[in-house]
Amino acid sequence: MISLPPDGILYHGSYMEVSHPDLSLCRSGLDFGKGFYVTSSLIQAVSYVPASVRKAKRRELLDASFPESDGRVSVYRFVSNPGLRIHCFESADEEWLHFAACNRDRGLFPEMRERYAAMDIIGGKVADDQTAITLNNYVSGAYGIPGTARADRTAIELLEPERLSDQFCFRTERALQSLRFIRSDRYGDIR
């Protein structure tokens, strides 16, 4: 079962410390839409740092000589607020797949985007770099028309959902107020 840890610890892997998340800097087109992504898995956050450093170098946010070991894992405490609207997908099923797909391709499943538009936080399984390929193939129709039983079944089987970690997308300022920055750890010191 996926749920936010009540007053628990969450992690964010990046090329830099993120002590004050800023939604205006967050990208759209990700699994659960535009927002600040964290996980309850330190291993998952740590594994994301090298990719974040490479992407930042490609986008020229970092100098080419920036060492991967200087990437950061920011640590937060989640302080539950009863007024937050939270939805957690229990598993990587058709509903999760359709929601991730509609955030990657705005032409797919618009009713899904509308259904979850009011949520402050959305959680569920994470699509890491390997599973992102499967999601992109699904969106492009490589497994059949997205939303058909065949395409859904093929994508979900390829995703191997039992091995996927969790992710939580903090989509609103109100959601971000429930995160308390604790510290940032250097990637080279924790891997």
pLDDT tens track for 6-24: 669 999 999 999 999 999 9
pLDDT band at residue 95 using 50, 70 and 90 as cut-offs = very high
Query: How confident is the model at residue 54, as a pLDDT?
Result: 96
pLDDT band at residue 99 using 50, 70 and 90 as cut-offs = very high
In a domain, 23, yes or no: no
In a domain, 3, yes or no: no
CB 94 within 8 A of CB 124: no
105 Cα distance to chain centroid: 16
Domain range for 69 is 9-18+28-190
- The whole-angstrom separation of Cα 40 and Cα 9 is 6
CA-based nearest residue to 81, from 115, 118, 121, 116: 121
In a domain, 36, yes or no: yes
Residue owning tokens 């004050």: 20
Residues across the chain: 191
Query: How confident is the model at residue 151, as a pLDDT?
Result: 92
Query: How confident is the model at residue 134, as a pLDDT?
Result: 85
What's at 113, amino acid-wise? R
Residue 10 bridge partners (DSSP): 76
What letter does residue 142 receive in the DSSP assignment?
Answer: B
Domains of the chain: total: 1
pLDDT tens track for 31-47: 899 999 999 999 989 99
Q: What is the pTM of this model?
A: 0.88
pLDDT at 88 over 70: yes
- The whole-angstrom separation of Cα 131 and Cα 7 is 29
pLDDT band at residue 130 using 50, 70 and 90 as cut-offs = low
Q: b/e for 80-114, b at 16 or more Cβ within 10 A? A: eeeebebebbeebeebbbbbbbbbbbeebbeebee
What letter does residue 5 receive in the DSSP assignment?
Answer: P
- Please state the rounded mean pLDDT for residues 152-166: 77
In this structure, the number of other CB atoms found within 10 A of the CB of residue 147 comes to: 14
pLDDT at 164 over 80: no
In a domain, 110, yes or no: yes
- CA angle (90, 128, 77) in 5-degree steps: 65
In a domain, 2, yes or no: no
Query: How confident is the model at residue 135, as a pLDDT?
Result: 83
Residue owning tokens 């859904």: 152
